[in-house]
Structure 1
């Protein structure tokens, strides 16, 4: 009886799940976001949003010297992978992007400056200040934890 049950379980299609993990690391003068797709199936593209506005620390993108950010500023620059992004102006809290070439294990990384608006050391943002910011992809949302890491669970494919 067990071989029959095992054979039945193997033949029934199941949904494979994937994750999009995003890590934030503070750096000088550039902060870094790294996105990794941990799925089994390739996708043409993946729409992703990073929302800093949901973090209690009052985080903003600091992309120019003449805006809401303080002191050091850095525009958004892709360093790994290709993606199209929304325009990010100084003081924005939302970044929309479309990742291209989404294959299992693919990684994208960009640098930009992030400032907080609620402390006396606004130019340094650590993982604990990133806590509460969110990442959304395919209608699913994950929140950054106190280490600056977020995971978005995605339904990947039917296997």
Structure 2
């Protein structure tokens, strides 16, 4: 009996940690665009997130006021769902920084904003983000001191970052 318990405990220690996918998806919509963050398997707590649009093909910016760098429609950056602490965003900023305080597995965090491109000739006009304009934008997450980075590419509006579940 003692050997069975010892073997079970040893196998638990040797088992690889569970791997979870964190998905970051950009949704173009009117009047508000959205970033949707979800974790399929593990809860997330105290995760620092940076969405950096500086290297995007469209030179994307956050359009938060009617008198600033964007065109026509504007929207403030707002947390629509989830326990998140976001840093203020100024009109024309290219970075959004926030901390995920708590996210249960299977739930979503939704942050709305208005993104505009600064291209003089874009496929959908400057008020809508189309195709590959998001390419080159970076998402960086720091979980338990480990930083992971992913880059939007090839016209995809979704990124997946893998991380080890912490218990």
Relative to 1, partners in 2 of residues 1:43 and 1:28: Cα closer, same or farther, differing over 3 Å? closer
TM-score, normalised via structure 1 length: 0.85
In the alignment, does 2:130 pair up with 1:126?
yes
Relative to 1, partners in 2 of residues 1:14 and 1:116: Cα closer, same or farther, differing over 3 Å? same
Q: CA deviation at 1:65?
A: 0.8
Name the counterpart of 1:142: 150
Distance 1:44 1:35 in 2: 13
Q: Which runs of 4+ in 1 moved over 6 A?
A: none
Relative to 1, partners in 2 of residues 1:105 and 1:68: Cα closer, same or farther, differing over 3 Å? same
Structure ranking higher in strand proportion? 1
Q: Unaligned stretches of 5+ in structure 1?
A: 1-6
Distance 1:102 1:111 in 2: 17
Distance 1:16 1:54 in 2: 32
Name the counterpart of 1:58: 59
Name the counterpart of 1:3: none
**How many pairs does the alignment contain?**
151
Note if contact 2:83-2:103 (Cα within 8 Å) is conserved in structure 1: no
Distance 1:100 1:13 in 2: 28
* Pairs within 5 Å for 1:16-95: 16-40=18-42, 42-95=43-96
Question: Matched residue of 1:97: which SS?
Answer: strand
